[in-house]
Structure 1
Amino acid sequence: MNTHVWHGHATRAAALAGCTALVLTLTAATAQARPGHHHPRDTARQTLPANDGWASHGTGTTGGAAADAEHVYTVSTWAEFKAALAAGGSAPRIIKVKGTIDAVSEGCDAFAAPGYDFGAYLEKYSPENWGLGTDLSAEPDASPEGLRRASAERQEEAIKANVPADTTIIGVGRNAGIKGASLQIKGVDNVIVRNLTFESPVDCFPQWDPTDGDKGNWNSEYDSAVVYGSTHVWLDHNTFTDGEHPDSAAPTYFGMLYQQHDGQLDIVRGADYVTASWNVFTEHDKTILIGNSDSESTAAGDRGHLKTTFHHNLFKDLVERAPRVRFGQVDVYNNHFVAHDDYAYSFGVGKESQLVAEHNAFTLPDGVSPAKVLKRWNDSPLTATHNRVNGRSADLIAAHNAENPDAPLRSGAGWTPTLRTKVLPAWAVPLVVDHGAGAGRLR
Structure 2
Amino acid sequence: MRTQKCHGRVIGALVGCTALVLAVTGTASASARPGPRAGLDRQVLPARDGWAAYGTGTTGGAAAGSAHVYTVTTWDQFKAALTDGGTAPRIIRVKGTIDADGPSCASFAVPGYDFAAYLKTYDPAVWGRGKNLDGESADSPEGLRRASEANQDAFVKALVPADTTIVGIGKDAGFKGASLQIKGVDNVIVRNLSFESPLDCFPQWDPTDTADGNWNSEYDSVDIYGGTHVWMDHNTFTDGAHPDSTLPHYYGRIYEQHDGEMDIVKASDYVTASWNVFENHDKTILVGNSDSASTVAVDRGHLKVTFHHNLFSNLVERAPRVRFGQADSYNNHFVAKDGYGYSYGIGTESQLVAEHDAFTLPDGVQAGTILKKWNESSLTADDNYVNGSPTDLIAVHNAQVPGEILRSGAGWTPALRTAVDPARAVPGIVDHGAGAGHLR
| Per-residue deviation, 1:131 | 1.8
SS of the equivalent of 1:99 reads strand
Amino acid at match of 2:204: Q
Match in the other structure for 1:52? 49
Quote the Cα distance in structure 2 between the aligned partners of 1:420 and 1:116: 52
Cα distance change on mapping 1:106 and 1:41 into 2, 3 Å: closer
| Per-residue deviation, 1:431 | 0.5
Match in the other structure for 1:242? 239
Amino acid at match of 1:172: I
Per-residue CA distance 1:361-385 (angstroms, 9 max, x = gap):
0000111110000000111110000
SS of the equivalent of 2:424 reads helix
Per-residue CA distance 1:285-304 (angstroms, 9 max, x = gap):
00000011111211112111
SS of the equivalent of 2:408 reads coil
Quote the Cα distance in structure 2 between the aligned partners of 1:71 and 1:285: 37
Quick check: 1:380 aligned with 2:349?
no
Quick check: 1:361 aligned with 2:358?
yes
Quick check: 1:145 aligned with 2:142?
yes
Quote the Cα distance in structure 1 between the aligned partners of 2:97 and 2:160: 18
Match in the other structure for 1:427? 424
| Per-residue deviation, 1:332 | 0.3
Quick check: 1:337 aligned with 2:334?
yes
State how 1:72-91 maps to structure 2 within 5 Å. Answer: 72-91=69-88
Match in the other structure for 1:28? none
Match in the other structure for 1:159? 156
SS of the equivalent of 1:283 reads strand
Quote the Cα distance in structure 2 between the aligned partners of 1:410 and 1:112: 49
How many residue pairs end up in the alignment?
Answer: 406
Per-residue CA distance 1:305-339 (angstroms, 9 max, x = gap):
10000000000000000000001000000000000
Match in the other structure for 1:440? 437
Amino acid at match of 2:40: T
Match in the other structure for 1:229? 226
> What do you get for the CA RMSD once the two structures are aligned?
1.2
Amino acid at match of 1:74: T
Per-residue CA distance 1:239-289 (angstroms, 9 max, x = gap):
000001100110100100000001001111100000000000001000000
Answer whether contact 2:50 2:416 (CA < 8 A) is retained. yes
SS of the equivalent of 1:202 reads coil
Match in the other structure for 1:201? 198
1:173 to 170, 179, 197: 170
Match in the other structure for 1:260? 257
Amino acid at match of 1:89: G
Structure 2 portions without partners, runs of 5+? 1-6, 9-36
List structure 1 segments (4+ residues) > 4 angstroms apart after TM superposition.
none
State how 1:277-288 maps to structure 2 within 5 Å. Answer: 277-288=274-285
Match in the other structure for 1:296? 293
Match in the other structure for 2:97? 100
SS of the equivalent of 1:42 reads helix
Match in the other structure for 2:32? none
1:128 to 125, 129, 135: 125
Quote the Cα distance in structure 2 between the aligned partners of 1:391 and 1:139: 54
Cα distance change on mapping 1:156 and 1:300 into 2, 3 Å: same
Per-residue CA distance 1:68-98 (angstroms, 9 max, x = gap):
1100011110011011101111100000011
SS of the equivalent of 1:185 reads strand
SS of the equivalent of 2:111 reads coil
Match in the other structure for 1:320? 317
2:179 to 157, 177, 182: 182
Amino acid at match of 1:344: G
Amino acid at match of 2:383: H
SS of the equivalent of 1:81 reads helix
With structure 1 as the length reference, what TM-score do the two structures score? 0.90
Q: Give aligned-pair identity as a percent.
A: 70
Per-residue CA distance 1:376-396 (angstroms, 9 max, x = gap):
011111000000000000000
Match in the other structure for 1:346? 343
| Per-residue deviation, 1:407 | 2.4
More displaced stretch, 127-136 vs 290-299: 127-136
Amino acid at match of 2:103: E
Quick check: 1:400 aligned with 2:402?
no
Quote the Cα distance in structure 2 between the aligned partners of 1:178 and 1:147: 28
Quote the Cα distance in structure 1 between the aligned partners of 2:321 and 2:47: 27
Amino acid at match of 1:248: S
Amino acid at match of 1:300: A
Quote the Cα distance in structure 1 between the aligned partners of 2:340 and 2:401: 17
Quote the Cα distance in structure 2 between the aligned partners of 1:100 and 1:125: 38
Using CA pairs under 8 Å that are at least 6 residues apart, name the structure with larger relative contact order, 1 or 2: 1
Amino acid at match of 1:231: T
Answer whether contact 2:102 2:155 (CA < 8 A) is retained. no
Structure 1 portions without partners, runs of 5+? 1-32, 35-39
Amino acid at match of 2:77: E
| Per-residue deviation, 1:406 | 3.1
SS of the equivalent of 2:241 reads coil
Match in the other structure for 2:217? 220
| Per-residue deviation, 1:41 | 5.4
Amino acid at match of 1:330: A
With structure 2 as the length reference, what TM-score do the two structures score? 0.91
SS of the equivalent of 2:407 reads coil
Amino acid at match of 2:137: P
Per-residue CA distance 1:394-431 (angstroms, 9 max, x = gap):
00000000022232100000001111111011110001
Quote the Cα distance in structure 1 between the aligned partners of 2:212 and 2:392: 37
Answer whether contact 2:235 2:275 (CA < 8 A) is retained. yes
